[in-house]
Structure 1
Amino acid sequence: MTPEQIWAAAGPAERRLAGLALNPAAPVDVLLRLLADGSDAVRMVLCRDRVLPGPVVDAAVAHPDRDTRSFFARNPYVDPEQRARLVDDPEWFVRAHLASEPRAADVCRPRPLPDRTVVRIIETYEDEWRGGLGRQISPGLRRAMATHPSPAVRRMGAHSWASLAPGVRDALLTDPDQGVRDAAADSRRRYEQLRDPDAVREDLPAHHCHARTHLLMYGALAPDVIAEAWDESPWLIAANASTPAKTVALLAAHPDAEVRARVAERSDLGPAERRALAVDPDPAVRLAVSVHPAWSEAERAAIDYEVPQEEWYGHLPVYDPEALPGPEQTRDLALSAHPLLRRRAACVPTLPAGLVARLADDTDLGVRVLLGQNHPDAPAALLLRCFLEYTGRDRWHLTGHGNFPRTGLARFADDDDPAVRRLALLDAGMPADTADRLTRDPDPQVRADAARHPRLPQDRIAALLDDPELAHRAAANPALPLATMDRLVATAGRERSGPVP
């Protein structure tokens, strides 16, 4: 069953024990008993949704049930070294989940698996399982793949042909391993094919599909292909680097503003086209051309552009040092008067401390949120401010940052925004009566967090253990007495529903 189905099938007693499995104060012996005797729902929560003591990790890795081990393989909270112990698990189901990036609402980005583990996965797993490694590959290993001692890793590195240096390409083409040579030759063929107008024409599908879109955007286009695409897909050829300058000039005056905006993003845009697009009647076009690298700061400032606030600001997808701007370019971006350029600088996780401090006080919300999401040293005051001001997707991820404040938050307990009231419950010093009141909050997530608050009075915790909605949250409360924990475990075998006697 899926995790959602497992939880839906769990009865009240099982959910209560699942809450106990999350309790940070639960002693090792209680956790081991839950792991040994608990239901699927209990073992799922225990192994997947928390940090675990060493003896419990040992027991989870060695557990005879494959689903239990697979839950641990998906745990984003434990040290990746612990998850890596499952790399040679006998069940493909477990190995597939280890190779997939673990996710959680309060985890900004997964920590990479050890390099040796990723290498082992690449060497021994099926291709479809390796595709989920994503951000679990460290930047250093990703950078060294094409020259790695392992042929399997070099084969994977050969797929990044466009970013490889000429000497590295030559080495891959003459590699002692036939598989590496084949992968390199295939990557070179695909790379060169995109630069051959005749090959692009031959491979271009007649119907609309991803392959046709890819070739029209990135392939070398012959004049007849451009003419054919002019009416159906002008925004694609507007972004194509092979589109001739004369055609680009015509596209810069295209009646469709989306096409002109695509042209405005071209790095090879001529001065005449740039000047025309800088006074375009459409604000999206002016904004697109305003970040062109050819402008000086003074010229950029003369453009009438307006930067909108987005509904969502995403994390840096994959941290690859070679894909990031260099130190000088990063500094120029951070010091620019243009918010979109400063947003690019804010995404650089290696941004120097002085520029971090500068952008933490930036006037643009996007700059501040992107800095908070992507920089490991984002200051606490910035993270809290971002949470209070930003209401988009992944907002709660900010609370998972190591620098997010955990004190002084109780003052938000009466805020109109339920997410901010929930924020108040991160404060371990919240008054007991406030925590009690929030267990009756109109928002279900606030009630759930309040039921786990360590300052919640004992009588309220006891009452919530019989509450159908909040029993499993109350069982996760670290203030739960050890005697009650023992009673919950002891009675589990006799009771699968109803209140604890």
Structure 2
Amino acid sequence: MTPEQISASAGPDERRLAGLALNPAAPVDVLLRLLANESAAVRAALCRDRALPGPVVDAVVAHPDKWTRGFFAENPYADPEQRARLVDDPEYHVRGRLAREPRAADDVCAPRPLPDRTVVRIIETYESDHLWELNRLVSPGLQRAMTTHPSPKVRRMGISRLSWTSLTPNIRAALLADPDPGVRKAAEANRRSHERLRDPDAVREDLPAHHCHARTHLLLYGALAPDVVAEALSQNAWLIAFNDSTPPETVAQLAAHTDPKVRAQVAVRSDLGPAERRALAVDPDPGVRLALSVHPALTEAERAAIDYEVEQDDSYCLWPVHDRELVPDLELVRARALSAHPLLRRRAAREMHLPADLVALLADDSDLGVRVLLGQNHPDAPAALLLRCFLEHTGRDRWHVTRHANFPRAGLARFAGGEDPAVRRLALLDPEMPAETADRLTRDPDPQVREDAARHPRLPQDRIAALLDDPELAHRAAANPALPVATMYELIAAAGEPVP
């Protein structure tokens, strides 16, 4: 069963002990006793859903049960160095979970890359079916160095992850002459695949007649002969509108296509001519005009002349770390940050290398998307901005911003009476919340607010004790750091476990 299914099937005593396993104040001895518990639900919570002190990690890594070690292998809260200790685990099950991206139950704790040496060890020794998700665990530095790494298997994986055109001429030549035959074979296959993709006759020969991934890939990225373009115009216009090899005369045709989605795709082409830009700037479809309005060839005055509208939505997400860590063209970023166009400022706002003066400027931007993207992605986002982002943005990644190092917590109890349940939940991040307020929120109509309140350290002891017998909130009350250690041992004893 999955950890979620295991948790759902747990009985009352197991749920209490699983909650206790998450208690940040539980001493090492209590955690070790929970690790020895026969309940999979207790061990899953302990090993997968929290950070663990060193002595407990030692015991988990040496635990005889492969499922227990597997829970820890996919723990997103654990230090990657600790998880890396399982790299040579004898069980296929454990190794497979280590090579997978760990995902937090609350979808807030972002996964961190494994140590480079561990990733290299996985590439060199693991079964191939373990490697399909490994890319998410590779640091940006190792990603950039894979094709020149001393290990042949790492070089081969680097070749498989990159297009031939993304490699420098020197690296291409080195890979084609590599001392390892497997690397040479992979490099040659990559080169031939690229050359075949750039050969219109080969693309025609390889193009499946039926709709499938292979046909889509070739129409998106392959060099297209005139007859292939003519055929695709009637059935796959959007795909050839994306394709860089589509000739200018066809691009002009596509700019007048009846489908606005095709015209919108044409509008973002870097090779779009002046005549097509002028036509699309006054297109009857607002989506087409918006797509054209951020074209890099336009001046600020030309953008301002377009009747576009930028909608607010919920896509202001935490940008992938490996994308944000790449150092951008700072001159381009500055131009975007100073643009009058909100979408260009949003692109600048998600850059973690944004200079301090632009951080200050965009923190007070008139566009919600700019402010939220800055708050989600910049390490120096100011506290006032972060709180404002949470209060104003109600999209799916809203809670991420509360985990920012600069997010303010003092004084949040003032939001305990808010109409929005998420805002009342925000109040529970205040470490100095009045005890009576925490008590009241354990009776809140929203279940998430009740659960968070049951774990708040300012909750009165008599209320914690009462909640330990509450079928809904017992596991949360057991995780409350204000729970007395003596009560922790009582919970263990009540479940039939020996106590000292």
Whether the TM-score (by the shorter chain) exceeds 0.5 is yes
Deviation of 1:121 (Å): 1.1
CA distance in 1, matches of 2:117, 2:255: 50
TM-score (norm 1): 0.96
CA distance in 1, matches of 2:322, 2:497: 51
Deviation of 1:280 (Å): 1.1
Match of 2:127 in 1: 126
Matches within 5 A, 1:141-290: 141-159=142-160, 160=162, 161-290=164-293
- Check the 8 A contact 2:289/2:306 in 1, yes or no: yes
Match of 1:355 in 2: 358
CA distance in 1, matches of 2:136, 2:335: 28
From the superposition, tell whether residues 51 and 5 of structure 1 become closer, same or farther in structure 2 (CA, over 3 Å): same
Match of 2:30 in 1: 30
CA distance in 1, matches of 2:326, 2:224: 27
CA distance in 2, matches of 1:95, 1:187: 29
Deviation of 1:321 (Å): 6.8
Matches within 5 A, 1:58-69: 58-69=58-69
Give identity over the alignment, percent.
77
Deviation of 1:323 (Å): 6.0
Match of 1:10 in 2: 10
- Partner residue of 1:333 out of 333, 336, 359: 336
Q: Deviations for 1:429-481, whole angstroms, at most 9, x for unmatched residues?
A: 11101100100011111100000000111110000000000000000001111
- Check the 8 A contact 2:16/2:474 in 1, yes or no: yes
Deviation of 1:109 (Å): 2.5
CA distance in 1, matches of 2:147, 2:324: 16
CA distance in 1, matches of 2:221, 2:405: 40
Match of 1:73 in 2: 73
- Asked if 1:403 corresponds to 2:406, the answer is yes
- Check the 8 A contact 1:384/1:404 in 2, yes or no: yes
CA distance in 1, matches of 2:409, 2:399: 14
From the superposition, tell whether residues 101 and 319 of structure 1 become closer, same or farther in structure 2 (CA, over 3 Å): same
Match of 1:499 in 2: none
From the superposition, tell whether residues 158 and 494 of structure 1 become closer, same or farther in structure 2 (CA, over 3 Å): closer
From the superposition, tell whether residues 255 and 208 of structure 1 become closer, same or farther in structure 2 (CA, over 3 Å): same
Match of 2:378 in 1: 375
Q: Deviations for 1:394-440, whole angstroms, at most 9, x for unmatched residues?
A: 22222222222222111111111111111111111111011001000
Return 375-384 or 450-459, whichever deviates more.
375-384
Deviation of 1:38 (Å): 4.6
- Asked if 1:297 corresponds to 2:300, the answer is yes
- Asked if 1:88 corresponds to 2:88, the answer is yes
- Partner residue of 1:485 out of 485, 488, 495: 488
CA distance in 2, matches of 1:111, 1:485: 32
Q: Deviations for 1:141-196, whole angstroms, at most 9, x for unmatched residues?
A: 11111111111111111131231111111111111111111111111122222111
For structure 1, the 5+ residue unaligned runs are: 496-501
From the superposition, tell whether residues 346 and 128 of structure 1 become closer, same or farther in structure 2 (CA, over 3 Å): farther
Match of 1:117 in 2: 118
From the superposition, tell whether residues 470 and 486 of structure 1 become closer, same or farther in structure 2 (CA, over 3 Å): same
From the superposition, tell whether residues 430 and 38 of structure 1 become closer, same or farther in structure 2 (CA, over 3 Å): farther
Match of 1:473 in 2: 476
Matches within 5 A, 1:304-323: 304-317=307-320, 319-320=322-323
| Count of equivalent residues | 495
Match of 2:52 in 1: 52
TM-score (norm 2): 0.96
SS of corresponding position for 2:322: coil
2:136 maps to amino acid: R
- Check the 8 A contact 1:106/1:399 in 2, yes or no: no
Q: Deviations for 1:348-378, whole angstroms, at most 9, x for unmatched residues?
A: 2222222222222211111122222222222
CA distance in 2, matches of 1:263, 1:218: 15
CA distance in 2, matches of 1:49, 1:352: 36
Return 103-112 or 402-411, whichever deviates more.
103-112
CA distance in 1, matches of 2:473, 2:422: 18
From the superposition, tell whether residues 324 and 236 of structure 1 become closer, same or farther in structure 2 (CA, over 3 Å): farther
From the superposition, tell whether residues 101 and 291 of structure 1 become closer, same or farther in structure 2 (CA, over 3 Å): same
Q: Deviations for 1:221-277, whole angstroms, at most 9, x for unmatched residues?
A: 111111111111111111111111011011111121111111001000011111111
- Check the 8 A contact 2:351/2:378 in 1, yes or no: yes
Deviation of 1:317 (Å): 3.3
- Check the 8 A contact 1:135/1:318 in 2, yes or no: no
Q: Deviations for 1:482-501, whole angstroms, at most 9, x for unmatched residues?
A: 11011111222179xxxxxx
- Check the 8 A contact 2:77/2:109 in 1, yes or no: no
From the superposition, tell whether residues 165 and 216 of structure 1 become closer, same or farther in structure 2 (CA, over 3 Å): same
